[in-house]
Structure 1
């Protein structure tokens, strides 16, 4: 699929929008290693922000992240807009997403629609050139923003759910535990959608494309580019560092601090395999005689106060050091500052030490190129990105992270051969400057963007005469609430309410039906045509009794729509029946499953669309019916478009649907209710569950939100 818009702006006018949601992000003094979410990805996106903003070809760069009000973290993370003082083109913009407090990334999923709505309100005023999302949670938001704005989506995965599930299952975790802990099924579904939507996937290594993205059904190598992250070579550079401040802390642990150190630097995460390294060192007396072991695993005050994962890792480190009686030979400091990191590398290099990354798998390995830039030879896991780093730089060796014997032997060999050590040190310094500087990254990045067709600026169509909504709030009902026929008294109550409040509140209906069928239903129910009709699954917007169609919406969703190809594919699909072309909507193809034995299922049909590079959204109407519509079309997107066009705040819109409504209709910053107490929809704490069915359930929701009160908290 190629869903990329056409035309290309002058690169000097590029306004790039990066999204990275979890962890603690600020422009300086990053708290790397504080927890599992504040690691290499955080450094990557902030350094990318800086490098892009420093390039004269870029006009502005925004990094969108989550706003956090929490006494346990610095006030910096509550600032709405942070402009980097040395780079006026670089901005960190923060939006709320769920509770005020700091949350782990696995807990953010229910709040992403709200974040997206806040970001959309901001970006409508900015006219960005593209969206670049980082990790699956930001990818979900990035898809919504890119489809609504009509701009390309660029995505960097950093790590992938299928790969993570595979490695954790291999380590003995149960599927049930993984699902509860990491919500991997949801993450993997989102990653597949990102692959189908994005115009460009940026990876750090070819191995990431071949082995990790190769596990995904909708991966397309033609839209992937290997652009390794950079390292700040002015900060990470070789040089004499005999006694940096951090060395004082390390000497507290070591009887012979002059010995070469084996340095490991990572978050306290099970996947980093720090325990495997300690086993390798503890089982090799010759290695212990030759070198000290230095483990820098984040920062901590009291291990007992840490979350379960880091607490478990750090406890195991202490137990293994005790088991092998490594006191005096192993250092494991409680604290280090970001400015200590390059000092650590230079200190280790000055003593003839080595750097090791023994992770079970490593998507890239930023610490490896940092160490190499400082002249420190490396040993690294053979699983993932380190293969590319060592192939490019020729500055170390790969290890099997599961073989403690091999790890010990290769460490001892490198530490014992001065000629090899010096060659690796020299090669690493030169290799990083050739392959892994941020300027090299930006050059390749902007070249890749230049190859993308960019967005045509969306023309703001004039609203048809007399059709601008002047009310300050908007009520949408799912048309299914009129099926079956409401009790007359209930319908009369609703109609009377709409009439009384017509100056304050506009009224709309949403339906999967085509327009003519919805009009027939309204006639049968003896109801007037409402102010807004959104029909055919969000593909058409009409206003008032004159049924003026919103041409701007039609043009927006029509980009890259391939209705004829969709029709032909469905016509050839076993078990599917479709009406003639004249009976289809211009932006929707309606299909029926007439033979369940022959039909392979909607998931398989969705795969066919993706495999044939047909951009589209498949919507199940019921067990026997479905629609295929453009990617940019949905009820939720259409309602947000209407809100923007008529200057209605999202929290002044109430949408009342049934369990059959598409998910993005209910959620985000729009007030929402689901009638009948049905539980088919993904549960969301912000969606009110009316216990009554039909129109009484709608009236219950209006009362719950106090929607018509001048003092309503909306």
Structure 2
């Protein structure tokens, strides 16, 4: 296998930004097309361009999901796309169905994204020096990649699940509906995981750290740093004399009886969380506001509301109902379409009219639109929840309000529209202070200052020559658990072992088990099982290879990252219902407890994980049979160890067949591996895995089920695996 290790400082930094959902391309971003294509997509494109322009940065990859969908422009199907700045490019990775889907439906496909991205990195001449994930889904992927490759991880949340859930429930949405619509529990767990493993968390505001991240179990403000996003001042600038009227200006003016009145402008995607309806109520219920100003709402692009997603339909339908209820014809403009390139002109149109910009969102992680409006000289009114607090403090160009109070919003609008001196002060402050404090160049310089110590401290992975030779030149690998999977059926075991002996020059054989090495050796001898080429023991905490099953010290060094067994024993020693198992069940990277049967309903995995994270312990927690608790370093699992071995040996995961059963095996059978659940284990926790997507449920037990899977997958053909077509492909 080609060893493509980091050589960061010699050639300049190679930074990998990961932002998976939404629609990302280098030009003409479709901002507001749906709930997933908002400010984050613009942020990551601007960040990639800004970073690669800095001295010492050689390459920036912006990694997202590849989409092949006849409803969308073909640019989203291109595997690579150069960005504006030389050295920056978009990389699109296949993941799940080919068509575009909402981020809430992506979770079950993220392991495939991780494996495909891992393969992409392995094909490059060098590994990235740093991973930077954006949002929870990318955080999940980047954590998995970092666990395998060991590179530094930086994360930006953009918005956070716990805070969003709190705001949605405060607006009246039942918790069951929040979970159903937004898959919130899965998202929050991914956020907890990435916070526990990231070297650095970059936020846009101090308020994010103090009020939003504080809600999480793994809350470590010392590893968080505020770097506000930049603003493109070449686009967002004050109105200039002689500017030609744009097409969007004509589209807006046609709605209005008196188009020269001051404009109250809102610009966001049609999402319930953006709270646009409260703005319309505040305007509609105030005769003064209706008389002194027009209301202009630019809410994404639409052809037919009936064909939009449920959230957008709900928002736009409510706006049309309110328009009619308050009889706002001739006073409210709701244009159907606008181009991203027209957004700066919309702000300037509002500024020229001496109007105001409104962001009434339930919560706003940062508020890039506020900077854009302020840079054009347009004062704003914004939600008091989130990032706008910092922007108001730094720029002195707006008013904060409770977004749930239409009355407070109405009062603030009247204040700004009636007080000309305050309007002019806010307008001038915005133009001056955005240029001083929120440029992309300043952002990129501050960013590099924070990440360089992480890159310099990182030691690239080293693989001993012995483990490289241990693959025996095999081009595929069979890995099985021992108990209940490979054993218990003498006939099947004999046939399986005979197959291995006949195919030894073609296939490598591996065992992945929770057992320790000494216990495994006894079983191999007892059942006359050929010695494996690779043995993953103690839940993945140790890797043994070669004829003597030598332990991989490289892997031990890798998984020792942030491992503090003494602290873990201290934290859990006084927890009622937990007792340490005997010494024979303990190992260097595994701490095992018994759970008292009377406490099983109380001592859940979730509670134990939460307790350890609150003490800033980044670990993996395994509970089996409701009574055995195992704790390992965060980089330890059977699936991570398997991927580590596969990358060293250069065996594609599509040529790895995994026979698994218990819950501790689950990450071995996700992603791109070919996998089988033998018949006698299908009642266990893996039964929630659906057949297809490279998971085969055998009709035969134990080793016979593995042999059945070999035939099912045509495993020894030139290209093994069964092509499983997506119903939506």
> What interval of TM-score do these two structures reach, taking the shorter chain for normalisation?
over 0.9
SS of the residue 2:266 aligns to: strand
Shift of 1:350: 0.9
> Which sits farther off after the overlay, 62-71 or 121-130?
121-130
Shift of 1:696: 2.8
**Aligned in 2, Cα 1:182/1:359: closer, same or farther, shift over 3 Å?**
same
**Contact 1:152–1:454 (CA under 8 A) maintained in structure 2:** no
**1:480 equivalent in alignment to 2:495:** no
Shift of 1:463: 2.6
Q: Which of 679, 698, 701 is the equivalent residue of 1:693?
A: 701
Match of 2:640 in 1: 637
1:332-343 mapped onto 2 (5 Å cutoff): 332-343=334-345
- In structure 2, distance between residues paired with 1:166 and 1:560: 32
1:466-505 mapped onto 2 (5 Å cutoff): 467-482=470-485, 485-505=487-507
1:314-713 mapped onto 2 (5 Å cutoff): 314-452=316-454, 454-464=457-467, 467-482=470-485, 485-571=487-573, 573-578=575-580, 584-593=586-595, 596-597=598-599, 600-676=603-679, 677-678=682-683, 680-681=685-686, 682-684=688-690, 685-686=692-693, 687-710=695-718, 712-713=720-721
SS of the residue 2:265 aligns to: strand
Match of 1:146 in 2: 146
Shift of 1:185: 1.0
Q: What is the root-mean-square deviation in Å for CA atoms of aligned residues?
A: 2.2
TM-score if structure 2 supplies the norm length? 0.93
1:97-496 mapped onto 2 (5 Å cutoff): 97-124=95-122, 125=124, 126-240=126-240, 241=243, 243-452=245-454, 454-464=457-467, 467-482=470-485, 485-496=487-498
**Contact 1:562–1:615 (CA under 8 A) maintained in structure 2:** no
Deviations 1:134-155 (A, max 9, x none): 0100000010111211112111
Shift of 1:187: 0.9
Shift of 1:209: 1.4
**Contact 1:394–1:428 (CA under 8 A) maintained in structure 2:** yes
TM-score if structure 1 supplies the norm length? 0.94
Shift of 1:259: 0.7
Structure 2 regions of 5+ residues with no counterpart? Answer: 1-5, 723-729
**Contact 1:244–1:347 (CA under 8 A) maintained in structure 2:** no
**Aligned in 2, Cα 1:628/1:98: closer, same or farther, shift over 3 Å?**
same
**Contact 2:497–2:530 (CA under 8 A) maintained in structure 1:** no
Deviations 1:427-470 (A, max 9, x none): 01111112211122112212222353631111232135862332
Shift of 1:595: 7.1
- In structure 2, distance between residues paired with 1:609 and 1:304: 48
- In structure 1, distance between residues paired with 2:625 and 2:359: 51
Deviations 1:572-620 (A, max 9, x none): 5544333676873222223333575598554443334333333322222
**Aligned in 2, Cα 1:118/1:455: closer, same or farther, shift over 3 Å?**
same
Deviations 1:475-515 (A, max 9, x none): 111112357x5232222121222222222222111100001
Match of 2:22 in 1: 23
Match of 1:3 in 2: none
**Aligned in 2, Cα 1:341/1:580: closer, same or farther, shift over 3 Å?**
same
SS of the residue 1:311 aligns to: helix
Deviations 1:552-584 (A, max 9, x none): 222222233333444455555544333676873
Shift of 1:228: 1.4
**Contact 2:489–2:702 (CA under 8 A) maintained in structure 1:** no
Deviations 1:653-691 (A, max 9, x none): 010100333321111111122223225235345222234
> Which sits farther off after the overlay, 259-268 or 392-401?
392-401
**Aligned in 2, Cα 1:532/1:389: closer, same or farther, shift over 3 Å?**
same
**Contact 1:59–1:89 (CA under 8 A) maintained in structure 2:** yes
SS of the residue 2:131 aligns to: strand
Structure 1 regions of 5+ residues with no counterpart? Answer: 1-6
- In structure 2, distance between residues paired with 1:351 and 1:144: 51
Match of 1:76 in 2: 75
**Aligned in 2, Cα 1:573/1:168: closer, same or farther, shift over 3 Å?**
closer
Deviations 1:344-403 (A, max 9, x none): 111111111111111121111111100000100111111111111111111111122222
**Aligned in 2, Cα 1:394/1:615: closer, same or farther, shift over 3 Å?**
same
